[in-house]
Structure 1
Amino acid sequence: MTTLFYYLIFPGLLFVLLVGMLASWIERKVTARVQWRVGPPLLQPLYDIMKLFTKENVVPQHAHLLAFTAAPLIAFVSAGLAATIVGMSIFFPEASFQGDLIVVAYLLVIPPLALILGGAASANPLASLGASREMKMVLSYELIFWTAILVAWIKTGGTVNLTAMAGKGAVAGSVSGAIAFILMLITIQAKLGRVPFDVAEAETEISGGPYIEYSGPLLGFFRMSQYILLVTVPVLVSIVFLGGAGIGRYVILLVIIILAENTNPRLKITQCLRLFWFILFPVGLIAIILAILGY
């Protein structure tokens, strides 16, 4: 019963979902102000989800029913589980376990893979194109994500426990840690599907890509997983690189994400691949070498 409470209520799904909705509102409000608009009311993210869950699920005639239906649920459950593990390391550090960093990192790969599955199962050319783009993005930014994690692992003495890593202090205070932190900031922008790396959705080009055929509760589950990731990913970065989680650290990271989204144009998929594979990855290798040398 206690485990179920942790996962469903606090620090799991309900808590992180509410915080994610608040973060999404801040993101939309700041974006509106940048564009000289008023922006949505505070409860707009909640209204959006409630509206979606009152709509009908429409499944395309030629879609693969099981894969199309399961994809949003897989994304939601995996994001919620990752959020629970991260939250446990913050609020109940005695419940954290060795290797929870690795588990969370793997869980965070599942939502984009679920999006690829849903897009491919939609039987829509634009959805398939978006799924193809998302697959290429995952193969590119995950390389940089693990490179940055490796630097943090070296700097913290080889620990893969989130509570222990937070106790080691701010990895970003070293030369190699600062480089890895900057790489991670770029990576989380792609991991969250934000501009300039939102090539899989690209509303003006492919009308939302993998999401194009989704509606009703299924789209609602995808949206809720995005809310959860908007909290979980920055908090994870804060723990690993900034010496722990905190409201101030999270707000700073959220502001960076929002500003980057509002001040950059969308890149082409080829530009994204070149950036991650041929520019950021060599920089990451340099950071690893510096970390091994103690810098």
Structure 2
Amino acid sequence: MQIIDTQTLLEVILNILVYPGLLFAFIMGSLFWWEFRKLRARFQSRVGPPWYQTFADLIKLFAKETIIPAISNKFLFVFAPILALASALVVLWLLPIPVSILPAISIFNLSFYGDLILVIYLLAMIEAAEILAGFSSSSPYGVIGSSRKVNLVIAYELPFALATIAVAFHVSSLRLSDIFTYQILNGPFILDVPTGSSFAFLAPIFHLITFIVFIMCILPKLRIKPFDMPEAECEIIAGPLTEYSGRLLGLFELTHVLKWFIIPALTVILFFGGDLTIVTFLIKCALVVLLFTFLEVINPRYRIDQGYKFYFKYILPLAIIAFIGETAFALGVI
């Protein structure tokens, strides 16, 4: 039986809770969300919030009283934000994050073979928790918001899974750390061209399609236009979270902050990886957030039926094409 010494155990705990774990992800997620809000405001000729706005909002929420509606399902109402935060934390700890400031192959994660599948499920679980929150509140606004989110999740989760697994098939591994290491050796996935194939010129096209599908499917996870229909404030206030307040709303907002680190980080790991330093990794994440901001400001909000049709008419066929193409290259068929 292998015994873990105290120093090693302490290092693991610090990595999980401080760097590059919870505290680091919270700080960077807050800054990335601020970057998004600030740039969006500038694009719209507004001033935007100060850098500490996210921290102030969370402090205020956790200091306020939590009110649970009398007509709600109290157990599910309280359980939903806990489920969302727990799912986000597990995803965070599975991501292979470079920890060195100087160039070195040094990453921290708790990965195992097949963890990519778990990440897909856990990201969907966060959405399921918000759906559960709206239905359990028994509020008309919450129920309508959850109904919209159900329709949207049904539409985008399959193409999201196909695009994500297509990257794994190209690398021949369902382990995130293997995908990360592959790109250290071969360069970013988005630029990777297989050798020994007569159709190698098609690879960048399939990579680009995979990336486009992935981006279109993660926009609703971050409540970004044109797919923010479940939280349309001018129509249904805060959607599924309308009846939440105090610490329970704070847990949902903390989850959202962590997602602003998790999703840009996952995008970089899958498509622009190969980073040997945390500095280059964070720069790439910031550029991904810039892309999200650009898509937010150039798009209006879709109606729920428009979003539903968009995914099934355009994104799902593209996801199938990308999946078949990446699989064919991985198997050496083309």
TM range (shorter): over 0.9
Quote the residue 2:179 is aligned against.
Answer: 165
Quote the residue 1:36 is aligned against.
Answer: 45
Quote the residue 1:124 is aligned against.
Answer: 139
Q: In the aligned structure 2, how far is the partner of 1:176 from the partner of 1:35? A: 34
SS in 2 for 1:53: helix
TM-score (normalised: structure 2) = 0.83
Spell out the pairing of 1:74-113 with structure 2 (5 A cutoff): 74-87=83-96, 92-93=107-108, 95-113=110-128
Correspondent of 1:275 among 297, 306, 310: 310
Quote the residue 2:320 is aligned against.
Answer: 285
Which of 1 and 2 has greater Rg? 2
SS in 1 for 2:137: coil
Spell out the pairing of 1:1-295 with structure 2 (5 A cutoff): 2=10, 3-87=12-96, 92-93=107-108, 95-156=110-171, 158-169=172-183, 170-173=188-191, 174-244=204-274, 246-294=281-329
Cα pair distance change 1:35/1:242, threshold 3 Å: same
Percent identity among equivalent residues? Answer: 34
The 8 Å contact of residues 119 and 210 in structure 1, kept in 2 or not, is answered as yes
1:87: how far off?
4.6
Deviations 1:196-244 (A, max 9, x none): 1011111011111111101111111111101101110121121112234
Cα pair distance change 1:293/1:74, threshold 3 Å: closer
The 8 Å contact of residues 153 and 159 in structure 1, kept in 2 or not, is answered as yes
Say what the alpha-carbon RMSD is for the aligned residues: 1.8
Which is further off, 123-132 or 147-156? 147-156
The 8 Å contact of residues 89 and 96 in structure 1, kept in 2 or not, is answered as no
TM-score (normalised: structure 1) = 0.94
Q: In the aligned structure 1, how far is the partner of 2:96 from the partner of 2:178? A: 14
Q: In the aligned structure 1, how far is the partner of 2:97 from the partner of 2:72? A: 38
SS in 2 for 1:74: helix
Q: How many residues end up aligned between the 2 structures? A: 294
The 8 Å contact of residues 155 and 177 in structure 1, kept in 2 or not, is answered as no
The 8 Å contact of residues 98 and 161 in structure 1, kept in 2 or not, is answered as yes
The 8 Å contact of residues 25 and 44 in structure 1, kept in 2 or not, is answered as yes
Task: Tell me the amino acid that sits aligned with residue 40 of structure 1.
Answer: P
Task: Tell me the amino acid that sits aligned with residue 160 of structure 1.
Answer: L
Task: Tell me the amino acid that sits aligned with residue 150 of structure 2.
Answer: M
Task: Tell me the amino acid that sits aligned with residue 166 of structure 1.
Answer: F
1:288: how far off?
2.2
